[in-house]
Every structure is written in structure tokens, then in C-alpha cells.
Amino acid sequence: MSAISVKSVFRIFLSLILSLVLAFGWVLLLSATPALALPKTNINYTNINLSDRDFSNSDLAGGTFVAAEMRGTNFQGADLTNAILTKGVLLNANLSGANLSGALADRVTFDGANLTNANFSEAIMTRTRFFDAAISGADFTDAIIDAYQVTILCEKADGVNPVTGVSTRESLGCP
């Protein structure tokens, strides 16, 4: 008789544990919030030729432009918040007034681009080039940029971003 009662107690204990695990899992499932917010849109232009396209004033927040060819593309006033531009080619592109805050723009070529009044705050721009780019009024607050590029940018940094009110020189930490 004691063997039966031990089995019964074990079954009750096991079903209680299983019920608690399932209840706990259900509560976690119902109250779960994503660790990384998903983009508002499913924009994915990976490895696409977007040369000379017009994206002016477009909502491209969270978009993916990995290794995209964007020569001469117009992003004037576009929202590229948290966009991924890794290995993008933006030669002579127009990003004036664009919001690229929080963007991942590593290994991007901004040579000859118009970055006037653009917001690059908290963007990651390692191994990115800005040769002959217009940066008047651009905000680079808390952006991660290679020291060599910062030196080059500081040579021509001027103006104040009309949206953030931060001077370009101050945002780059220029002497």
C-alpha cells in the first residue's frame, strides 16, 4: 500500500510542477515584449541598384539597404531612423535634412554626398568615408566615427542643425 501512495504522491507532485511550468510559460507569453522593436515597415533593398531614385521625404525607418548602390539617390528629408546601410554606396547622394539617427552605416561611402542638416546622432559609421561631402549643419552627436574621418570632417564642419540645435563642430568634438 505504501508503494501505491508514493506513486500517487509522485504523480500529483509531477502534475503540479507541470501545471506551474505551463502557467508560468503562458504568463510569459502573454506579457512578452520584444527585446528589439521591429521596424514599422519591411523595407529591404539589399544588393539592389537604387541609383538616381527619388526617396525624398519618405518614411524608410528601419529599412535595410545593405550593399545597395545608391549613387545620386535623393533621400532629402527622408526618415532613415535605425536604417541599415552597411556597405552602401551613396556617392553624390542627397541626404540633406534626412534623419539617420541610430542608423548602422558602417563601411558606407558618402563621398560627394549632400549631408547638409542631416541627423546622424547615435549612428554607427565605422570605416565610412565622407570625402568631399557637404556637412554644414549635420549633427553627429554620439555617433561612432573613425578618428581619421572625424579629423577630415572637422576641417570643414560648420553650421547648426535646424532640428536638433546642435552645431556640427560640437557634435564631432572638433577642437
pLDDT digits (tens, 9 = 90+) for 109-159: 999 999 999 999 999 999 999 999 999 999 999 999 999 999 999 999 999
User: Model confidence at 36, in pLDDT bands (50, 70, 90)?
Assistant: very low
Distance CA 115, CA 113 (A): 6
The C-alpha angle with vertex 58 and arms to 54 and 59, in degrees rounded to 5, equals 145
Enter the pTM of the model: 0.76
- The radius of gyration of the chain's CA atoms, rounded to the nearest angstrom, is 25
**Average pLDDT estimate for 50-77:** 98
User: Model confidence at 39, in pLDDT bands (50, 70, 90)?
Assistant: very low
Q: Say which range, 21-35, 87-101, 143-157, has the weakest mean pLDDT.
A: 21-35
Task: Give the DSSP letter string of 135-171.
Answer: -TT-B-TT-EE-HHHHHHHHHH---B-TTT--BHHHH
